[in-house]
């Protein structure tokens, strides 16, 4: 009996370990596919449904999702109806059993406007100073105008800041909601116009591609609930690169000291344990340290010495790119030290003695034999550091990240790299969009898309380092 | 300071008397301790120039320690204390003004396990040359070829000089390490059980190489293998418990040892 159990156990454990691998992979796949479907699906030009309800009300919008009714059996469907300036809301729940007719008329347009968000309805007319076009001709004229402007000004509305106030002499549109309420819209507030119901598959894919591209390449609009995330991508990558530049030399030198130079006594062991434990300190603690030491301490002193003419408005005495990179470098230092040390410890002493026996000094031995051999391990450390740093949000909120940074930290203005500027970060962008927007429902797809982007960026940074490591290993012949 | 020994008698190693060879290395009353535990005690011996000298003895007798001391590889270990002196061509190798890197260039060392660097065969041999500063590529190429030929490896690797050294077999790797050491033209070559990790064919090649190399430099060989010591060495030192027991021409040590302890060890009667 006992033997039988033991035999079973012997057969069971490989399955158990395989199952845990499978479970982990499944969860990972679920995570990524959720981000891909929700994130990328947001940019797809979904059909606009025109729905007539039992009480005679007519609405039009994208069907978003369904949920059970709270008070009676049956389901209700959420529609994205836009037209916040007319209805006061972007969304409407509709009980399925009250729907009389559903159709997808091809002439329904979706207008992306500078203020009040999207408009869904029909285009009645385009009124130019000397001409008034209606029907299909109006749509053609609108398309022509928008295309013209896009090629000139790269998609930015000419007078976005001026809102939708009508200036005499401007071209304007007359639009009508599906219920028949009309509005005048100056042409310059319209970013884009599309008729998703009239699109072919090819056009849809093209529209989707350009929407994704805009998301990647443009700055945010409407308090981060719309527009793109380019400044956040740029800020994240720049901060991580700067952090890597700061942490690698420090980490590698520290590891060399601990492993190659220091007397291997109790003190060294204690320091090593200390370093390993630093990796477990919660990141917000590093944020507090960065705020106290880098921002207020060093930054405040720098301001007093070099930027006293601009005080009391701080230059370095407030959160910025440099302090954020330094704080994260400190946070990831243990990872780099530990990985490098492991790499150094794996190098056989025979290699070191071989180099010394040929008349190499200790420095020559280090630079020509030990460091090249430990380079893959160092890169592993940097990979781990990048993965950790790119995903950190908490400490950044204390030392330099901004909800909306007016200026990029890298531009054409001397000295090009502005270390004191605040920057945007994808992780913080997710947090801000998800919890601090006015309309969480509208922001949610952007949160998924941004999260997907963050994962992809970490992946790309890691793959670069892994490729580099592979290249190094091949070069060294092992 | 040059040791004033008589010039060597006619080249006949088998019958040549010990004292007639000119000494290259002189070890005088040399003691070494690891963290206070003595490993070598009051050793004195002279290693003759352009001869092969073998150190034999049971494990832990200190023969490898002595070899490493000649190359000052104990410098890195802070718990090591020494007394007495070792002289290379009449100069104390522990003298404060002596450049350790220069000493190690003049005293090459080959270890038990082949330790080629993770680079190409060519770069392995050129490593020591590059340490000595800039050199015309042509001259470097010639030196690399000469070293590989001296180590009897050239014919086997001349078509793949730029392949990783780790693609070579164990025996080839060991000969590559010897070539690498020869490239910097040392005066002394220390070999720490150079063939103990190799197969019999490779071992024979290494032994042949050792015999051929003594026309160029002085060799000191540590080995566990009695037959090997008898086959390749001109002089043999028997160490036991950190002390030098017997030292003399190999023939007399093996055929007519002066001490019972030596005879017991050589004939394998010692536990």
ipTM score assigned to the predicted complex: 0.82
CB B126 within 8 A of CB B183: yes
Chain B residues touching residue A371 (CB < 8 angstroms):
none
Q: How confident is the model at residue B131 (pLDDT cuts 50, 70, 90)?
A: confident
Give the bridge partners for A112, in sequence order: A118, A192
* Residue A217 and residue A309 in one domain: no
* Residue A264 and residue A190 in one domain: no
Chain B residues touching residue A477 (CB < 8 angstroms):
118-120, 163-167
Q: What residues contact residue A443 under an 8 Å CB cut-off, 6+ apart? A: A224, A225, A433, A434, A437
Residue A198 belongs to some domain of the structure: yes
Residue A360: name the closest of B143, B70, B218, B71 by CA. Answer: B71
For chain A, give the percent of residues with pLDDT over 90: 24
Q: How large is the average pLDDT for residues B137-160?
A: 89
Cβ contacts from A onto B, under 8 A: 71
Asked if residue B36 has a cis previous peptide bond (ω within 30° of 0), the answer is: no
- Backbone phi, then psi, for A75, in 5-degree steps? -125, 160
Cβ pair A350:B128 closer than 8 A: no
Domain B22-266 architecture:
3-Layer(aba) Sandwich (3.40)
Give the bridge partners for A60, in sequence order: A50
Q: Which of residues 421-460 of A touch B (CB under 8 A)?
A: none
Q: What residues contact residue A475 under an 8 Å CB cut-off, 6+ apart? A: none
The three-point CA angle B21-B26-B28 to 5° equals 135
Residue A156 has pLDDT above 70, yes or no: no
Distance from CA of A375 to the nearest CA of B (A): 12
Structure tokens, A151 = 């090629």
Q: Say how far apart CA A195 and CA B69 lie, in whole Å.
A: 87
* Residue A330 and residue A182 in one domain: no
Beta strands in chain B (DSSP E): 23-34, 37-48, 52-56, 80-88, 91-92, 107-110, 188-192, 218-222, 235-240, 243-249
Residue B70: name the closest of B188, B163, B156, B158 by CA. Answer: B188
Whether B36 has its CB under 8 Å from any CB of chain A: the answer is: no
pTM: 0.78
Helices (H) and strands (E) in chain B, counts: 10, 10
Q: How large is the average pLDDT for residues A159-183?
A: 69
Q: How large is the average pLDDT for residues A95-114?
A: 88
Residue A3 belongs to some domain of the structure: no
Domain that holds residue A68: 49-103
Residue A26 belongs to some domain of the structure: no
Per the structure, the count of domains in chain A is 3
Q: How large is the average pLDDT for residues B89-110?
A: 88
**Nearest residue of A to residue B166, measured between CA atoms:** A477
Chain A residues touching residue B113 (CB < 8 angstroms):
350
Whether A476 has its CB under 8 Å from any CB of chain B: the answer is: yes
Boundary residue ending a domain (A221, A253, A270):
A221
CA B6 remoteness from chain centre: 24
Q: Which of residues 363-392 of A touch B (CB under 8 A)?
A: 364, 368-369, 372-373
Boundary residue ending a domain (A221, A246, A281):
A221
Residue B198: name the closest of B165, B170, B225 by CA. Answer: B170
Asked if residue A312 has a cis previous peptide bond (ω within 30° of 0), the answer is: yes
* Residue A314 and residue A457 in one domain: yes
Q: Say how far apart CA A156 and CA B35 lie, in whole Å.
A: 77
Q: Say how far apart CA A45 and CA A38 lie, in whole Å.
A: 14
Residue identified by tokens 């088998």 is B14
* Residue A268 and residue A179 in one domain: no
For residue A24, is it left (φ>0), alpha (ψ between -120 and 50) or beta? alpha
Structure tokens, A67 = 């949920």
Task: List pLDDT tens digits, range B34-57.
Answer: 888 888 888 888 899 899 999 998
Structure tokens, B175 = 């000969």
Task: List pLDDT tens digits, range A345-372.
Answer: 999 988 998 998 888 888 999 999 999 8
């Amino acid at each position: 009996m006992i033997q039988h159990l033991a035999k079973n156990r012997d057969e069971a454990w490989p399955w158990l370990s395989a199952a845990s691998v499978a479970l982990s992979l499944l969860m990972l796949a679920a995570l990524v596919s959720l981000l891909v479907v929700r994130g990328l699906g947001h940019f797809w030009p979904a059909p606009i449904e025109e729905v007539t309800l039992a009480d005679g009300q007519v609405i039009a919008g994208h069907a978003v999702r369904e949920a059970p009714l709270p008070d009676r059996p049956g389901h209700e469907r959420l529609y994205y109806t836009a037209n916040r300036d007319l209805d006061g809301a972007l969304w409407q729940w509709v009980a399925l059993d009250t729907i009389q007719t559903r159709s997808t008329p091809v002439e329904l347009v979706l207008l992306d406007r500078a203020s009040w968000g999207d408009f869904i309805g029909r285009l009645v007319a385009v009124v130019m100073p000397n001409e008034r076009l209606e029907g299909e001709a109006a749509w053609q004229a609108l398309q022509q105008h928008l295309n013209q402007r896009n090629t000139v000004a790269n998609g930015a509305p000419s007078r976005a800041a001026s809102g939708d106030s009508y200036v005499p002499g401007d071209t304007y549109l007359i639009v009508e909601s599906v219920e028949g309420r009309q509005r005048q819209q100056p042409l310059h507030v319209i970013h884009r116009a599309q008729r998703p119901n009239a699109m072919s598959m090819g056009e849809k894919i093209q529209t989707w591609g350009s929407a994704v591209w805009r998301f990647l390449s443009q700055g945010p609009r409407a308090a981060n609930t719309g527009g793109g995330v380019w400044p956040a991508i740029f800020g994240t990558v720049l901060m991580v690169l700067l952090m890597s530049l700061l942490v690698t030399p420090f980490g590698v030198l520290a590891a060399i000291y601990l492993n190659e130079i220091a007397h291997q006594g109790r003190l060294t062991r204690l320091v090593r344990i200390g370093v390993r434990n630093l990796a477990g300190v919660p990141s917000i603690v590093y944020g507090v340290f960065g705020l106290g030491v880098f921002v207020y301490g060093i930054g405040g002193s720098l301001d007093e010495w070099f930027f006293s003419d601009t005080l009391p408005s701080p230059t370095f005495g407030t959160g910025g790119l440099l302090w954020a990179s330094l704080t994260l470098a400190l946070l990831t230092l243990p990872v780099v030290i530990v990985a490098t040390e492991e790499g150094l410890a794996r190098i056989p002493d025979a290699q070191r003695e071989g180099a010394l026996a040929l008349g190499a000094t200790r420095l020559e031995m280090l630079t020509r034999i030990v460091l090249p051999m430990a380079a893959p391990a160092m890169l592993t450390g940097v990979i781990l550091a990048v993965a950790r740093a790119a995903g950190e949000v908490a400490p950044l909120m204390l030392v330099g990240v901004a909800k909306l940074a007016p200026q990029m930290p890298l531009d054409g203005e001397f000295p090009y790299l502005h270390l004191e500027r605040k920057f945007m970060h994808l992780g913080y962008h997710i947090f801000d969009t998800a919890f601090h927007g006015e309309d969480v429902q509208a922001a949610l797809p952007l949160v998924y898309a941004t999260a997907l982007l963050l994962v992809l960026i970490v992946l790309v940074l890691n793959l670069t380092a892994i490729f580099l490591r592979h290249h190094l290993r091949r070069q060294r012949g092992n | 300071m040059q040791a004033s020994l008589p010039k060597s008698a006619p080249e006949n190693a088998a019958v040549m008397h010990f004292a007639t060879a000119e000494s290259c290395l002189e070890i005088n009353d040399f003691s070494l301790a690891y963290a206070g535990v003595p490993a070598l005690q009051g050793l004195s011996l002279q290693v003759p120039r352009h001869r092969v000298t073998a150190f034999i003895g049971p494990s832990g007798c200190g023969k490898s320690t002595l070899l490493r001391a000649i190359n000052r590889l104990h410098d890195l270990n802070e718990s090591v204390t020494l007394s007495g002196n070792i002289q290379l061509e009449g100069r104390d190798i522990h003298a404060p003004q002596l450049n350790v890197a220069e000493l190690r260039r003049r005293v090459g060392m080959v270890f038990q396990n082949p330790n080629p660097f993770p680079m190409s065969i060519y770069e392995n041999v050129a490593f020591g040359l590059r340490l000595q500063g800039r050199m015309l590529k042509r001259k470097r190429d010639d030196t690399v070829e000469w070293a590989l030929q001296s180590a009897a490896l050239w014919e086997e690797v001349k078509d793949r000089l730029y392949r990783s050294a780790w693609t070579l077999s164990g025996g080839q790797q060991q000969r590559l390490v010897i070539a690498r050491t020869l490239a910097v033209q040392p005066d002394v070559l220390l070999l720490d059980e150079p063939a103990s990790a190799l197969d019999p064919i490779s071992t024979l090649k290494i032994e042949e190489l050792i015999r051929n190399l003594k026309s160029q430099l002085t060799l000191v060989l540590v080995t566990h293998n009695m037959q090997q010591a008898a086959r390749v060495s001109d002089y043999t030192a028997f160490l036991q418990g950190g002390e030098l027991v017997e030292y003399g021409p190999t023939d007399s040590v093996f055929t007519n040892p002066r001490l019972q302890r030596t005879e017991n060890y050589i004939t394998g009667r010692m536990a």
